């Protein structure tokens, strides 16, 4: 059986104190085993990073950017291999898998311009004969703890900027679909990066804790559930690290009475059910304003959802594939049952869905639940599956309040033709990323990604200039060059004033 090993110091490292199963979500079988390790393996990766990072940091930014350019070209050349590998372990259909890789490449493209964004600030004559300038320097070694749902995009979001600014980087991917990050590290080495600059270590909580506690790792980026994000933020911070920890989400889509419902339905079906709903920027809650809007929307949603094709991940006609594991399937179906128990109306029930010839696959049918209310536990929590809940609002103010008061604040969308309503909503809603007639408002790579409330812990977002700031330290230099010889510098060690 195939074994997925660590990638350390430019090569495969098969050290494993334990092995974990990697499933094929399409048939439920074990397709590979991944090495699970802890402190000893991490120590070797850190040692390799420490050996390589100083020279990499001293390499001029333009040369580092050339490596990023070559890496981008290699990923594009190997797109189909990466997409099929990703799809085989995650279960998302090939088209979604390609999108996963491409959205990661968007950040790599941003990182190709790193010489420009690393330019510091300069003030001439800040005082008599005194100039002041600042520079951004790498923190040294960074680490990324990445989730199962985007095994290509999120690692590239993290390491793309981190290595471009001069750091070494260690990825700890999800043990559910670990192969793609290893392949990306191999391609990065092929692009011309030194051994030890991008490495992959596998593991579970033991490895996570080792990363959070390791004194040589200066910064950690995490994406996952909110409870674990909070844990990572607290433990990493206690160890003196810079930490950004992105958590869960329950994104709302507010539908105003004047919205184009045909377009809304098209957007909702893709946003709620694409990738089987396993996206932190999925749109699992729709909030129609007024019962008339709700009834008209529901009438159009039902046939659109019933027309969705659920298939294996290589089915080119499928809208989405299986979820990642049997345990996750059981969790999703448990939330559907819970919502029905709480009083939600099961309009379309996706539980018990099977696919002929793939009866043991981890499939969940599309589910639509109406008359969900804010006091329901199933509304309060993240389901992370192909489930769309309808929460009816009486008016604009109630619709605005629902996402604003929810424990999560990752993304939100409003659908309307009214510019004033859209502007008011964007200004007042208590959520980090807002879409106006855009169902999944993921910012482009040269802006930044990050939510509010329990969707994110830490003060700095991912990628864009926020990412540059997170992975660098700023150093400010105040300099004076006095006239005359050595004797004229008698007062050189007096603290200068700016007067």
- Catalytic center residues: 280
DSSP 493: T
379 vs 10, 255, 297, 339, 406, CA distance in Å? 46, 18, 19, 8, 9
- Cβ(373)–Cβ(214) below 8 Å: no
Q: Tokens for 359? A: 């009866």
Q: Which residue has the tokens 């311009």?
A: 113
- Which residues have C-beta within 8 Å of that of residue 216, sequence separation ≥ 6? 46, 49, 50, 140, 141
Residue 38 DSSP SS3: coil
Backbone angles phi, psi at 245, to 5 degrees: -135, 110
Question: Which one, of 12, 50, 65, lies nearest residue 192 by Cα?
Answer: 65
**Rounded CA separation 236/180 (Å):** 26
CB of 464 closer than 8 Å to CB of 448: yes
Q: Which two three-digit tokens encode residue 270? A: 């893709």
Residues in the chain: 499
Distances (CA, A) of 283 to 115, 254, 303: 37, 10, 19
**Residue 306 neighbours by CB under 8 Å, 6+ apart:** 348, 366
User: Given the structure tokens 């290699």, which residue do they identify?
Assistant: 74
**Interacting residues of 383 by C-beta distance below 8 A, sequence separation 6+:** 277, 284, 332, 335, 336
Exposure string over 194-209, b if 16+ CB within 10 A, otherwise e: bebbbbbbbbbeebbb
Q: What is the DSSP string of 103-119?
A: HHHHHHHHHTTHHHHT-
State the Cα–Cα distance between residues 217 and 299, nearest whole angstrom: 54
CA distances 135 to 32, 52, 115, 129, 472, Å, are 46, 22, 12, 20, 10
Residue identified by tokens 């059986």 is: 1
């Amino acid at each position: 059986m195939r074994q997925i090993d660590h990638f350390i110091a430019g090569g495969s490292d098969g050290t494993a104190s334990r092995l974990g199963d990697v499933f094929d979500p399409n048939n439920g079988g074990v397709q590979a085993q991944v090495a699970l390790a802890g402190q000893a393996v991490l120590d070797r990766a850190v040692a390799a990073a420490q050996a390589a990072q100083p020279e990499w940091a001293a390499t001029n930014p333009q040369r580092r950017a050339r490596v990023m350019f070559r890496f981008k070209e290699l990923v594009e050349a190997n797109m189909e291999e990466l997409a099929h590998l990703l799809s085989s372990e995650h279960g998302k259909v090939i088209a979604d898998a390609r999108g996963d890789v491409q959205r990661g490449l968007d950040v790599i493209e941003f990182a190709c311009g790193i010489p420009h964004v690393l330019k510091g600030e300069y003030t001439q004559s800040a005082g008599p004969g005194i100039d002041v300038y600042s520079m951004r320097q790498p923190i040294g070694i960074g680490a990324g703890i990445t989730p199962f749902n985007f095994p290509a995009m999120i690692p590239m979001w993290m390491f793309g900027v981190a290595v471009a600014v001069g750091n070494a980087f260690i990825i700890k991917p999800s043990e559910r679909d670990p192969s793609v990050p290893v392949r990306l590290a191999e391609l990065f080495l092929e692009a011309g990066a030194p051994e030890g600059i991008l490495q992959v270590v596998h593991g579970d909580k033991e490895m996570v804790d080792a990363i959070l506690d390791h004194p040589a790792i200066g910064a950690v980026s995490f994406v996952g559930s909110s409870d674990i994000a909070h844990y990572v933020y607290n433990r990493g911070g206690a160890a003196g690290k810079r930490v950004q920890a992105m958590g869960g989400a329950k994104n709302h889509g507010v539908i105003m009475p004047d919205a184009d419902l045909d377009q809304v339905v098209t957007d909702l079906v893709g946003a709620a059910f694409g990738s089987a709903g396993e996206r932190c920027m999925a749109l699992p809650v729709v909030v129609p304003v007024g019962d008339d809007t709700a009834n008209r929307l529901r009438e159009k949603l039902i046939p659109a959802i019933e027309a969705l094709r659920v298939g294996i991940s290589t089915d080119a006609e499928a809208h989405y594939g299986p979820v990642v594991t049997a345990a996750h399937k059981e969790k999703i179906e448990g939330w559907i049952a819970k919502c029905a128990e709480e009083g939600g109306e099961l309009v379309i029930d996706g539980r018990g869905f099977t696919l002929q010839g793939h009866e043991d696959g981890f499939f969940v049918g599309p589910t639509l639940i109406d008359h969900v209310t804010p006091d329901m536990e199933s509304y309060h929590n993240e389901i992370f599956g192909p489930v769309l809940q309808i929460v009816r609002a009486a008016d604009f103010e109630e619709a605005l309040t629902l996402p604003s008061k929810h424990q999560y604040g990752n993304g939100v969308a409003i659908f309307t033709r009214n510019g004033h309503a859209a502007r008011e909503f964007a200004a007042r809603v208590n959520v980090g990323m807002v879409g106006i007639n855009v169902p999944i408002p993921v910012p482009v790579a040269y802006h930044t990604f990050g939510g509010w409330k329990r969707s994110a812990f830490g003060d700095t977002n991912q990628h864009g200039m926020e990412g540059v700031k997170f992975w660098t330290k700023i150093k400010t230099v105040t300099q004076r060059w006095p006239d005359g010889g050595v004797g004229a510098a008698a007062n050189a060690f007096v603290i200068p004033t700016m007067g």
